[in-house]
C-alpha cells in the first residue's frame, strides 16, 4: 500500500468516527412522534425528540403524556385502574399506551422501526 | 484517455471479447457471493467480490467498458440472485463506487488496495443514499458510520485479492492475442 | 473509435431502460418485492368489549372489510356484554336461560366443549366469583371466605341444560350467571378473520386488546412477526412468534390485577378454589388456527400449570401450540413452534416439548 492509501483510511475512519459521535450525543434522532387520540379523534401529535409534558383534560378525565429521552409514557392519570401508567415507555412505530376508562390512546408513528408487527399481551 | 492506458485495447473484436469475459466472470463472482455468509452482524453488508472485476478491468480496459461491464453485471445478477429493490441499491452503489475508483486510477499515488477501499466505501454510501430516498426516513443514519468502516474492510480484502491476481491477469492478457 | 463509443453508449442506455421497465412491471405485478412499510394498511381502532382494538387490512378490499369488521365487532359486543342489561347474555342470565342466537349458540358449544376437555378448568359460570373480586367493574376487593364459598357453589357449567340443535339453554340452578369473556375476543377475532376472507382480504391483522389474529401473510409475502409481552417487564418481550392465518393469544396475571395488603391478586381465577391461579406459570401464549380455542386455552393452561398443560397439549397437539413462561423465567415451547418462536433473551432457558 502507498502513502495516499492511508490517507483514504484515515479520512474514512475520521468521518465515521465523527458521525458516530454525533449520533451518540444526539441520542440518535428517533424521528418519530406520538399521536394521541381521545375517543378515536386525533387531538395532537408530539415529537419524541422534544422533552415535554402534555396534559390531557377531557370529559373522561386527566392524563399527562410525558416524553423523555425519546420515549413516551403516561403519568398523573386519575382513572380508576391506573393501567396506563403501568404500560411502560413507547418509542417504536406502532407501540401504544392505552387508557381505557378515558378512551385515550397514544401511538408512535413514523418512529424507529419495530422488530415485530404487533405484541400479543 | 482510453487509448493511453497501459495495455492497448487491441482490435474491436478483442475488446468486445474481453468485455464479455469480464461480465461472465463478474456474474460468477456474484453467484459465489451468495454462498459466502460474510457479515459484520449487520444486514446488507456484502464482500463485493464482483468489485474485483471492476478493479482489474480498470487497469487494462477503457473506463467506459468497465462501466458497461459493471452495469450489465448488476442488472443481470439482481434479476437472477436478488430482487427489484436490490437492483436500485446495487446500481447506485456500483455507479458511485465506479466513479470514485475511476477518478483515483487517473491520479498518482494510490495503490490498487487504496482504490479498492475507496470504492468499497463509496459503494455503501451509494446504497445508503438510495435507502434514504426509497424509505424516506433518516433512521438509517446511525448505520452510516458502520457501513463506512465496513466498506473499508471489504475494500481492503478485495484490494488485496486484486493485488495478488494482477500479475497473473497481466500474463494472461499478454497471451490473449 | 467514435462508432465504438456510440455503440457502447447505446448498449448502456438500453440496459438502463430495460432495468427501469423491469422494475416498473415487477413492482406492479407483485407488491411482494416491496417492504411492508411501503404499503399502508387500511386501519380502524375502536373501544369495545372493555378493551382497545385495532383492525387493519391490506389491499383494495381492505377498507370495506375493515368497516364491516368494526360493525361486526360492535354487534358482537352488544350481544355478549355482561355490562349491558339489553345484551343477549344479560337476558339469558336474567331469565335463567332461553333461546340462543347463532353466535351465542356457537359460543356456548365451544365453551362447553372446553369445559369438558379442560376437565372443568374453563367454566363460563365463573362470573359470580369474578364479580365478588371486582374484576367485572374494577371495584377490586378480596372477598370473605363465606362469600366466596357461596359464590363457588354457583360455579358449575354442568348444571347448564344446553341443547345445541334446538339452540336453547336452561340454567337449572338459581343464581347461575354466565360470561363468555374467556372466549369472546377469540371468537370475535376468528369471526373477523372469516369476514376478511369473504371480502377477499389476503393480508390483515386484528388486535383485540392484545389478542392477535393474523390473516394471510404480510404484504411482502413473509410471515407476521408477533411479539409476546414479557410478564414481568412491560417494556420487554418474551420472544417473537412467526405465523400466518393463526391467532396468538397470551394470558398472564400482569393483564389485570390489584394489590391489597402487599399481596397482588390477578384476574385469572381458578374455579376450583375461587382464588387467583397460582400454578407456577406467569404467562401462557396459545397459537392456533382457532381463535376461540386459543382464547379459552390461554387462561385454562395458565390455571392448569406446566405439567397438566403439557399433558393437555399432548392429547390435542393438532389443534394448537403454546409458549409457557414459568415463574423462574424458563420458557416451555411446544414442538410446532420450534422453528417459529425466537426467545428475546438469547440466554433464556428454553424447553421444547414434543
Q: Is C118 exposed, middle or buried (0-12, 13-18, 19+ CB in 10 A)?
A: buried
Residue A8 and residue A66 in one domain: no
The domain containing residue B87 runs over which residues? 11-167
Q: What is the pLDDT of residue B13?
A: 82
Residues C322/C301, Cβ–Cβ less than 8 Å: yes
Looking at residue C193, its pLDDT comes to 96
C-alpha C29/C-alpha C22 separation (Å) is 10
Cell of B127: 446504497
Q: Decide if A119 and C138 are in contact by the 8 Å CB cutoff.
A: no
Element (H, E) at B13: helix B12-33
User: How far is CA B29 from each of CA A54, B66, C62, C145, rounded to the nearest angstrom?
Assistant: 57, 16, 44, 77
| Helix (H/G/I), strand (E/B), else coil: C171 | strand
Specify the 3-state DSSP secondary structure of C53: strand
Query: Coil, strand or helix: which one is B117?
Result: helix
Mean pLDDT, residues C302-320: 96
Q: For residue A73, tell me if it sits in a domain.
A: yes
Instruction: Determine whether the interchain pair A89/C235 forms a contact, defined as Cβ–Cβ distance below 8 Å.
Output: yes
A16 touches chain B (CB under 8 A): yes
Is residue B74 classed as helix, strand or coil in its secondary structure? helix
Element (H, E) at C240: strand C237-243
Q: How far is CA B73 from each of CA B6, B30, B82, C33, rounded to the nearest angstrom?
A: 25, 8, 12, 20
Under an 8 A CB cutoff, do B71 and C27 touch? no
What is the reported pLDDT for C21? 42
Is A21 in the same domain as A65? no
For the segment B78-116, what is each residue's pLDDT rounded down to a tens digit?
888 777 777 888 899 999 999 999 999 988 889 999 999
Q: How confident is the model at residue B3 (pLDDT cuts 50, 70, 90)?
A: very low
Q: What is the pLDDT of residue C94?
A: 92
Q: Which of B111, B144, B152 sits opposite A2 (nearest CB)?
A: B111
Same domain for A5 and A17, yes or no, is yes
Q: Answer yes or no: do A23 and A37 share one domain.
A: no
Residue A25 lies in a domain: yes
C101 close contact with B: CB closer than 8 A:
no
Tens digits of residue pLDDT in B17-47: 889 999 999 999 888 887 776 554 455 567 8
Residue with cell 475512519: A13
Domain assignment of residue B152, yes or no: yes
Distance from C-alpha of B156 to C-alpha of B163, rounded to nearest angstrom = 10
Q: Cβ separation of C37 and A103 shorter than 8 Å? A: no
Any CB–CB contact under 8 A between A68 and chain B?
no
Greatest mean pLDDT among A29-38, C41-50, C298-307 lies in C298-307
Whether residue B4 lies inside any domain: the answer is no
Question: Given 3-state DSSP classes, what are the helix, strand and coil percentages for chain B, each rounded to the nearest 5?
Answer: 75, 0, 25
Quick one: pLDDT band at residue C83, thresholds 50, 70, 90?
confident
Q: Are C157 and C111 in contact (CB under 8 A)?
A: yes
Determine whether the interchain pair B142/A13 forms a contact, defined as Cβ–Cβ distance below 8 Å.
no
Measure the CA–CA gap between C181 and B110, rounded to whole angstroms.
Answer: 73
Q: Within 10 Å of residue A86's Cβ, how many Cβ atoms?
A: 14
Do C47 and A113 lie within an 8 Å CB cutoff?
Answer: no
User: What is the distance in angstroms between the Cα of A19 and the nearest Cα belonging to chain B?
Assistant: 6
- Are A50 and A10 in a shared domain? no
A38 and A20 housed in the same domain: no
- CB–CB of B109 and A4 under 8 A? yes
| Contact across the interface for A28 and B142, Cβ inside 8 Å | yes
* Interchain pair B114, A13: CB under 8 A: no
Largest Cα–Cα distance in chain B? 53
Answer for the pair A119, C235: CB distance below 8 angstroms, yes or no.
no
What's chain C's Rg over C-alpha atoms? Answer: 25
Minimal C-alpha gap between C226 and chain A (Å): 5
Tell whether the model's pLDDT for residue C24 goes beyond 80: no
pLDDT computed for residue B4 by the predictor: 41
- Give pLDDT, residue B78: 84
Domains of chain C: 83-178 (1.10.3980.10), 223-353 (3.10.520.10)
Find the mean pLDDT for residues C301-318: 96
Domain count, chain B: 1
Distances C155 to C1, C122, C158, C308, C347 between C-alpha atoms, Å: 95, 11, 9, 21, 42
Q: Does residue A93 share a domain with residue A58?
A: yes
Helix (H) or strand (E) run with residue C319 in it: none
Tens digit of each residue's pLDDT (9 = 90 or more) over C179-212: 999 999 999 999 999 999 999 999 999 999 999 9
Q: Give backbone dihedrals phi and psi of A75, rounded to 5 degrees, phi first.
A: -130, 175
The dihedrals phi and psi of A20, each to the nearest 5 degrees, come to: -60, -45
Question: Does A11 lie in the same domain as A70?
Answer: no
Q: Looking at the structure, do residues A37 and A69 belong to the same domain, yes or no?
A: yes
Nearest to C212 among A83, A96, A120 (CB): A120
DSSP string, B86-99: HHHHHHHHHHHHHH
Identify the CATH number of the domain in which residue B117 sits: 1.10.1760.20
C323: Cβ contacts below 8 Å, ≥ 6 apart = C228, C238, C239, C241, C283, C284, C285, C287, C331, C332, C333, C334, C337, C341
Q: Is C235 in CB contact (< 8 Å) with chain A? A: yes
Looking at the DSSP assignment, which residues form a beta bridge with residue A72?
Answer: A67, A90
Instruction: Report d(CA B14, CA C254) in Å as an integer.
Output: 75
- The phi and psi torsions of C197 (rounded to 5 degrees) equal -65, -40
Q: How many CA atoms lie within 13 A of C246 on its CB side?
A: 24
Q: Which of residues 110-149 of C touch A (CB under 8 A)?
A: 138
Residue A61: phi and psi, rounded to 5, are 150, -165
Average pLDDT of the segment spanning B135-157: 75
- Would you tell me which residues 93-122 of chain B have a C-beta closer than 8 angstroms to some C-beta of chain C? none
Are residues A5 and B114, on separate chains, in Cβ contact within 8 Å? yes
Q: Do strands C224-229 and A118-120 pair parallel, antiparallel, or not at all (unpaired)?
A: parallel
Whole-angstrom distance, CA of residue A106 vs CA of residue B13 = 68
Is the pLDDT at C323 greater than 90? The verdict is yes
- Residue A111 distance to chain C (closest CA, Å): 12
Q: Is B4 on the interface with C (CB under 8 A)?
A: no
Q: What per-residue confidence (pLDDT) applies to B176?
A: 67
What contacts A35, CB < 8 A, 6 or more positions away? Answer: A42, A44, A45, A106, A107, A108, A109
Higher-confidence residue of C349 and B83: namely: C349
By C-alpha distance, the chain B residue nearest C38 is: B135
Q: What is the CA radius of gyration of chain B?
A: 16
Distance from CA of B37 to the nearest CA of C (A): 21
- Cell 382480504 sits at which residue? C201
Cβ contact B143:B124 at 8 Å: no
Could C34 and B85 be called an inter-chain contact, meaning their C-beta atoms sit closer than 8 Å?
yes
A98–C contact, CB cutoff 8 A: yes
Give the pLDDT of residue B140. Answer: 47
The band of C40, judged by pLDDT with boundaries at 50, 70 and 90, is confident
For chain C, say whether A103 makes contact (Cβ under 8 Å).
yes
Residue A116 lies in a domain: no
Q: C39 near C185, Cβ under 8 Å? A: no
CATH number assigned to the domain comprising residue A81? 2.60.320.10
Asked if the Cβ–Cβ distance from A4 to B110 is below 8 Å, we say yes
- The reply to whether A47 and A74 lie within a common domain is yes
Q: How far apart are CA C111 and CA C118, in angstroms?
A: 10
In a domain, A24, yes or no: yes
Of C12, C19, C22, the CB nearest to B68: C12
* DSSP at B40: S
- Rounded to a whole number of angstroms, the distance from the CA of B149 to the nearest CA of chain C is 26
pLDDT of residue C75: 96
Within a domain: residue B117? yes
Nearest to B137 among A12, A28, A31 (CB): A31
CA angle, residues C129, C83, C101, in degrees to nearest 5: 100
A48 within domain boundaries: yes
Number of H helices, E strands in chain B: 6, 0
Most confident of A106-115, B141-150, C226-235: C226-235
Specify the 3-state DSSP secondary structure of C161: strand
The answer to whether A103 contacts C47, with C-beta atoms less than 8 Å apart, is yes
Assembly ipTM: 0.77
Check whether C31 has a pLDDT greater than 60. Answer: no
Query: Contact at 8 Å (CB) between C269 and C277?
Result: yes
Distances (CA, A) of C226 to A84, C69, C206, C220, C320: 22, 21, 12, 16, 16
Instruction: Report the C-alpha gap between C150 and A28 in whole angstroms.
Output: 59
Considering the domain architecture, whether residues A14 and A37 belong to the same structural domain is answered as no
Closest CB from B109, B111, B121 relative to A12:
B121
- B-chain residue closest to C29, CA distance: B84
State pLDDT tens for residues C284-294.
999 999 999 99
As given in the structure block, the three cell numbers for residue C246 are 393463526
Which cell goes with C173? 340452578
How far is A16 from chain B, CA to nearest CA, in Å? Answer: 4
Cβ contacts of A26 on chain B, cutoff 8 Å: none
Are the C-beta atoms of C38 and C177 separated by less than 8 Å? no
Element holding A57 (H helix, E strand): strand A52-58
Domain identity same for A47 and A78: yes
pLDDT, one tens digit per residue, over C250-292 is: 999 988 889 899 999 999 999 999 999 999 999 999 999 999 9
> Is A8 in CB contact (< 8 Å) with chain C?
no
Any residues with CB less than 8 A from the CB of A25 and at least 6 apart, and which? Answer: none
| Higher per-residue confidence, C20 vs C91 | C91
pTM score > 0.90 for this model?
Answer: no
Q: Cα distance from C98 to chain B (closest Cα, Å)?
A: 57
B18 assigned to some structural domain: yes
Contact status of C249 with chain A (Cβ, < 8 Å) = yes
Question: Does position B8 have pLDDT exceeding 70, yes or no?
Answer: no
* Structural domains of chain A, count: 2
Interface residue C37 vs chain B (CB under 8 A): yes
Residue A117 lies in a domain: no
Asked if residue B176 belongs to a domain, the reply is: no
pLDDT greater than 80 at residue B177 = no
Residue C20, pLDDT above cutoff 50: no
Q: Please compute the mean of the pLDDT values over residues B110-135 and round it to a whole number.
A: 86
Please list the pLDDT of chain A residue by residue as tens digits (121 residues).
Answer: 788 889 999 999 998 888 888 766 665 555 688 999 998 888 888 888 878 899 999 999 999 999 988 889 999 999 888 889 988 899 888 889 999 889 999 999 877 777 788 888 8
Q: Which of B10-19, B59-68, C145-154, C287-296 has the lowest mean pLDDT?
A: B10-19
Could B109 and A3 be called an inter-chain contact, meaning their C-beta atoms sit closer than 8 Å?
A: yes
Query: For residue B48, what pLDDT is reported?
Result: 84
Query: Which are the contacts of C279, defined by CB distance < 8 A and separation ≥ 6?
Result: C270, C302, C303, C304, C305, C306
The helix or strand, by DSSP H or E, that contains position C14, with its residue range, turns out to be: helix C2-29
Domain-embedded: residue A121: no
Q: What is the pLDDT at residue C17? A: 47
The whole domain housing A94 covers: 33-109
Q: Is residue B6 part of a domain?
A: no
Average pLDDT, chain B: 82
Q: Which residues of B touch A13 (CB under 8 A)?
A: 149, 152
Amino acid at each position: 500500500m502507498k502513502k495516499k492509501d492511508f490517507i483514504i483510511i484515515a479520512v474514512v475512519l475520521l468521518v465515521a468516527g465523527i458521525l458516530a459521535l454525533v449520533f451518540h450525543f444526539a441520542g440518535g434522532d428517533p424521528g418519530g412522534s406520538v399521536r394521541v387520540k381521545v375517543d378515536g379523534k386525533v387531538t395532537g401529535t408530539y415529537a419524541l425528540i422534544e422533552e415535554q409534558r402534555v396534559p390531557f383534560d377531557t370529559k373522561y378525565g386527566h392524563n399527562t403524556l410525558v416524553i423523555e429521552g425519546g420515549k413516551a409514557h403516561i403519568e398523573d392519570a386519575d382513572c380508576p385502574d391506573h393501567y396506563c401508567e403501568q404500560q411502560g415507555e413507547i418509542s417504536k412505530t406502532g407501540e401504544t399506551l392505552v387508557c381505557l376508562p378515558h378512551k385515550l390512546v397514544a401511538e408512535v408513528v413514523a418512529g424507529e422501526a419495530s422488530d415485530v408487527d404487533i405484541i400479543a399481551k | 484517455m482510453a487509448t493511453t492506458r497501459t495495455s492497448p485495447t487491441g482490435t474491436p473484436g478483442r475488446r468486445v471479447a474481453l468485455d464479455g469475459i469480464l461480465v461472465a466472470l463478474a456474474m460468477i463472482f456474484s453467484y459465489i457471493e451468495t454462498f459466502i455468509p460474510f457479515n459484520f452482524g449487520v444486514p446488507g453488508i456484502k464482500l463485493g467480490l464482483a468489485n474485483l472485476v471492476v478493479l482489474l478491468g480498470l487497469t487494462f480496459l477503457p473506463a467506459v467498458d468497465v462501466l458497461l461491464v459493471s452495469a450489465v453485471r448488476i442488472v443481470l445478477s439482481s434479476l437472477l440472485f436478488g430482487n427489484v429493490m436490490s437492483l436500485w441499491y446495487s446500481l447506485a452503489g456500483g455507479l458511485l463506487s465506479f466513479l470514485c475508483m475511476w477518478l483515483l486510477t487517473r491520479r498518482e499515488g494510490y495503490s490498487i488496495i487504496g482504490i479498492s477501499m475507496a470504492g468499497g466505501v463509496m459503494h455503501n454510501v451509494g446504497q445508503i443514499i438510495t435507502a434514504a430516498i426509497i424509505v424516506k426516513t433518516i433512521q438509517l443514519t446511525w448505520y452510516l458510520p458502520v457501513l463506512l468502516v465496513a466498506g473499508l474492510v471489504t475494500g481492503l480484502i478485495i484490494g488485496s485479492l486484486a493485488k495478488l491476481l494482477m500479475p497473473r491477469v497481466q500474463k494472461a492478457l499478454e497471451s490473449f492475442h | 473509435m467514435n462508432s465504438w463509443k456510440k455503440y457502447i453508449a447505446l448498449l448502456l442506455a438500453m440496459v438502463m431502460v430495460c432495468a427501469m421497465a423491469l422494475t416498473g412491471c415487477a413492482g406492479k405485478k407483485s407488491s411482494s418485492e416491496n417492504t411492508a412499510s411501503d404499503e399502508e394498511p387500511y386501519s380502524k381502532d375502536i373501544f369495545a368489549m372493555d378493551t382497545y382494538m385495532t383492525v387493519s387490512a391490506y389491499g383494495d378490499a381492505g377498507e370495506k372489510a375493515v368497516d364491516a369488521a368494526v360493525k361486526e365487532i360492535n354487534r358482537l359486543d352488544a350481544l355478549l356484554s355482561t355490562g349491558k342489561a339489553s345484551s343477549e347474555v344479560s337476558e339469558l342470565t336474567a331469565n335463567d336461560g332461553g333461546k340462543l342466537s347463532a353466535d351465542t349458540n356457537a359460543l356456548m358449544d365451544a365453551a362447553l366443549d372446553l369445559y369438558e376437555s379442560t376437565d372443568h378448568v374453563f367454566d363460563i359460570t365463573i362470573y359470580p366469583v369474578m364479580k365478588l373480586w371486582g374484576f367485572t367493574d374494577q371495584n377490586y376487593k378480596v372477598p370473605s371466605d363465606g362469600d366466596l364459598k357461596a359464590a363457588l357453589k354457583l360455579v358449575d357449567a354442568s348444571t347448564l341444560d344446553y341443547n345445541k340443535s334446538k339452540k336453547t339453554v336452561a340454567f337449572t340452578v338459581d343464581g347461575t350467571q354466565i360470561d363468555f369473556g374467556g372466549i369472546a375476543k377469540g371468537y370475535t377475532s376468528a369471526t373477523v378473520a372469516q369476514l376478511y376472507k369473504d371480502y377477499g382480504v389476503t393480508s390483515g391483522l386484528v388486535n383485540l386488546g392484545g389478542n392477535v389474529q393474523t390473516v394471510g401473510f404480510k404484504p411482502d409475502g413473509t410471515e407476521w412477526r408477533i411479539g409476546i409481552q414479557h410478564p414481568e417487564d412491560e417494556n420487554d418481550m418474551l420472544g417473537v412468534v412467526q405465523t400466518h392465518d393463526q391467532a396468538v393469544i397470551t394470558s398472564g396475571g400482569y393483564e389485570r390485577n390489584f394489590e391489597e395488603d402487599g399481596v397482588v391478586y390477578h384476574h385469572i381465577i381458578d374455579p376450583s378454589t375461587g382464588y387467583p391461579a397460582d400454578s407456577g406459570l406467569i404467562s401462557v401464549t396459545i397459537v392456533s388456527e382457532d381463535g376461540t380455542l386459543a382464547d379459552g386455552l390461554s387462561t385454562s393452561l395458565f390455571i392448569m400449570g406446566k405439567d397438566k398443560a403439557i399433558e393437555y397439549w399432548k392429547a390435542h397437539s393438532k389443534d394448537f401450540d403454546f409458549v409457557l413462561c414459568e415463574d423462574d423465567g424458563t420458557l416451555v415451547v411446544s414442538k410446532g413452534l420450534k422453528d417459529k418462536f425466537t426467545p428475546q433473551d438469547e440466554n433464556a432457558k428454553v424447553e421444547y416439548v414434543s
